[in-house]
A and B are shown apart, each in its own frame.
Chain A
Amino acid sequence: MNILETRNLEHEFNGYSVLKKVNLEIRKGETHAIIGPNGAGKTTLFNVISGMYTPSKGKVIFKKKDITGFKAYKIQRLGMGRSFQITATFDNLTAFQNIRMAVLSRKGIRFNLFRFVDKMNDVTTETINVLQNLDLWEACHTPAGMLSYGKQRSLEIGMALATDPDLVMLDEPAAGMSADETHTAVSLIKKLTKEKTVVIIEHDMDVVFSLADRITVLNHGTILATGIPKEIKANKDVQAAYLGRLEDE
């Protein structure tokens, strides 16, 4: 069963077409990687799906519901969470408060002006659990802006996951990380997304091949190929457009 589908999705910026007839199918429970050279339109695809932009043409179907043109908050409430390539945390709030924000969202506590947030014990317990899972417990009182880059990235992924979405969209979770940090991040993602559907944009081929059940290759705004990692590795077009160039380096 497909949890997410895009049908002939197109998007253009000022007449320059970034996505052309993209038909993406994400099956429930799989980890699906989207790869492609710089400027292929991967992040734009994410933005169109998750509600930052309304697509110029085409449809986005999430859980059998047409969500084309929905605002981001609405799509999130339907069960889609995402992380950003450029870390988007609350820099002046502590790691604890950052995660708590996601927990509050999950519990649907949005306009409560009548209780001390510090005294909501269920929220606090859940936040502590998430922080321990993320290995951020020791840094819980540090403002997010003062955390090390690796920890900030963990927090970024953690916030996307702490709302307990059915579909997680991770935009280059390992961007700018060292080899060690990448390794930690990959095992973290594996551990936390066991029963979830994950769509992940990634440049690091090791990450892609260790995480993904299926891979979609995007080039110049069109889908070049979709398949299991073995097929993608063997695909001639893909090699020419992307992998081949990497091997030359």
Chain B
Amino acid sequence: MDKKTRWMFWIAGIIIFAIFPKLAGIYYSNIVVSMSVWALFAVSLNMLLGFTGLLSFGHAMYFGTGAYGAALALTHVNGLSFFSAMAAGCLCSVVLSLIVAPVVVRVSGTAFAMIHLAFAQCMFVLALKFRNITGGEDGIGGFSVSHIRIPGLFSLDVTDPAVFFYLSIGTVILNLLVLWFVIQTPFGQVMAGTRDNVKRIEYLGFRVSHTKAVVYVLAAGSAGVAGAVSAMHQNLVAVNDAYGMMVSVLPIMIVMVGGARSFFGPIYGAVFFGFLEEYVTAYTDKFELILGLILIIFIMYWPLGLAGIFLKLKFKWLTRKQFLKRSGGGAG
């Protein structure tokens, strides 16, 4: 893609983003918001899984902590805005990850996966049992997000779905850009090196545990942002949707179907799953069954996921174009 088409692409994207709530209505705007939340959550998991080689079976602990953090802040502090609540959620996840990090960066592979399963289940039980704080199974709901104002200039009503659409998508895109940038830095290279060969990275003088810790906190913080946005979107945090097993497993599925080797893979995966949920739940409530089948098909036939399929198609298209160009004189 040359510079001009890239600019066109960005401008078209911004225009679609701006008119989408008007064009598609509240219902579809909400679907896009929840897709974007899942996309950010899955990308944050993929920072660990695809780019550093760490599989976590309990990433929900950061999504849930972000959600509870935002909800609790909104319930107990008056007049908190969208951004402060989001920051509160993100901060809670970061603090939790800093507590857990010294333990988890010392392990890898199966131990890393299982330790997270244990931690996430701990959080689940804690959230269930401390019902005076978390509301137990009922969860926390009905908190109000105050308007975003700059006195004398403007005031944004966050309860307006269109405004919420802009804010949440904007937040998610910003966070995704930060993560994308990290991949492109020297540190991103060290992450990839840790995934490919821990021994060599160590013998090149990089400290594996510190590298893992930085990625870990980044991933936790981003998952926290996703959780906080989700909490404000639903205006409810319940223990099953925050710390439930499915909340940990679904992003892994999204990453596998979208493609773990690509930064954008999980985003494709989240969009795919969003549409799938929309159409499948219209016919049956056995959504998980369909998910499982699709996961099996992808693992067997397209291990590189949707991102791999897109890359293949693009490659085919490019070679075809080149072929036509070369034989163009004769054919034309």
Q: Which of B107-115, B161-169, B189-197 contacts A (4 or more CB under 8 A)?
A: B189-197
Is A116's CB within 8 Å of the partner chain B? yes
CA gap between A136 and B211 in the complex, in Å: 29
- In the bound complex, do residue B205 and residue A73 qualify as a contact, i.e. CB atoms below 8 Å apart? yes
User: Helix, strand, loop or mixed for chain B's interface?
Assistant: helix
Is B100's CB within 8 Å of the partner chain A? no
Is B184's CB within 8 Å of the partner chain A? yes
From residue B109, how far is it (CB to closest CB) to chain A in Å?
17
Q: Which residues of A contact B204 (CB under 8 A)?
A: 76, 101-102, 105, 159, 163
Is A109's CB within 8 Å of the partner chain B? yes
Q: Mark B161-200, 1 if CB is under 8 A from A, else 0.
A: 0000000000000000000001011111110110111011
From residue B95, how far is it (CB to closest CB) to chain A in Å?
20
- In the bound complex, do residue B185 and residue A105 qualify as a contact, i.e. CB atoms below 8 Å apart? no
Given A88-B197, A92-B196, A118-B184, answer yes or no on A50-B203 (Cβ-Cβ < 8 Å): yes
Q: Which residues of B contact A105 (CB under 8 A)?
A: 204-206
Q: Which residues of B contact A90 (CB under 8 A)?
A: 192-193, 196-197, 200
- Give the number of residues in B that approach A within 8 Å (Cβ atoms): 26
CA gap between A113 and B189 in the complex, in Å: 10
* Chain B residue with the shortest CB-CB distance to A88: B200
B186 is contacted by which of A50, A88, A109, A163 (Cβ under 8 Å)?
A109
- Interface core residue of B184, B187, B196, B210 (most chain A CB under 10 Å): B196
In chain B, positions 196-246 with a C-beta closer than 8 Å to chain A are 196-197, 199-208, 210, 214
- In the bound complex, do residue B199 and residue A73 qualify as a contact, i.e. CB atoms below 8 Å apart? no
- In the bound complex, do residue B207 and residue A73 qualify as a contact, i.e. CB atoms below 8 Å apart? yes
- In the bound complex, do residue A111 and residue B184 qualify as a contact, i.e. CB atoms below 8 Å apart? no
In chain A, positions 113-138 with a C-beta closer than 8 Å to chain B are 113-118, 120, 123
A117 is contacted by which of B188, B205, B208 (Cβ under 8 Å)?
B188
CA gap between A109 and B261 in the complex, in Å: 24
Given A88-B199, A90-B196, A91-B197, answer yes or no on A77-B205 (Cβ-Cβ < 8 Å): yes
Given A72-B203, A92-B192, A105-B204, answer yes or no on A112-B185 (Cβ-Cβ < 8 Å): yes
Q: Which residues of B contact A114 (CB under 8 A)?
A: 185
CA gap between A100 and B206 in the complex, in Å: 13
Q: Which residues of B contact A77 (CB under 8 A)?
A: 205
Is A89's CB within 8 Å of the partner chain B? yes
CA gap between A36 and B272 in the complex, in Å: 59
- In the bound complex, do residue B189 and residue A104 qualify as a contact, i.e. CB atoms below 8 Å apart? yes
- Interface core residue of B184, B189, B195, B205 (most chain A CB under 10 Å): B205
Is A62's CB within 8 Å of the partner chain B? no
- In the bound complex, do residue A97 and residue B189 qualify as a contact, i.e. CB atoms below 8 Å apart? yes
From residue A200, how far is it (CB to closest CB) to chain B in Å?
16
CA gap between A72 and B199 in the complex, in Å: 9
- In the bound complex, do residue B200 and residue A104 qualify as a contact, i.e. CB atoms below 8 Å apart? no
From residue B187, how far is it (CB to closest CB) to chain A in Å?
5
CA gap between A81 and B196 in the complex, in Å: 19
CA gap between A123 and B204 in the complex, in Å: 16
Is A11's CB within 8 Å of the partner chain B? no
Q: Which residues of B contact A109 (CB under 8 A)?
A: 186
Q: Which residues of A contact B182 (CB under 8 A)?
A: 113
Is A82's CB within 8 Å of the partner chain B? yes
Given A81-B203, A84-B199, A91-B196, 9 further pairs, Cβ under 8 A: A77-B205, A89-B200, A90-B192, A91-B197, A92-B192, A110-B205, A115-B185, A116-B185, A117-B186
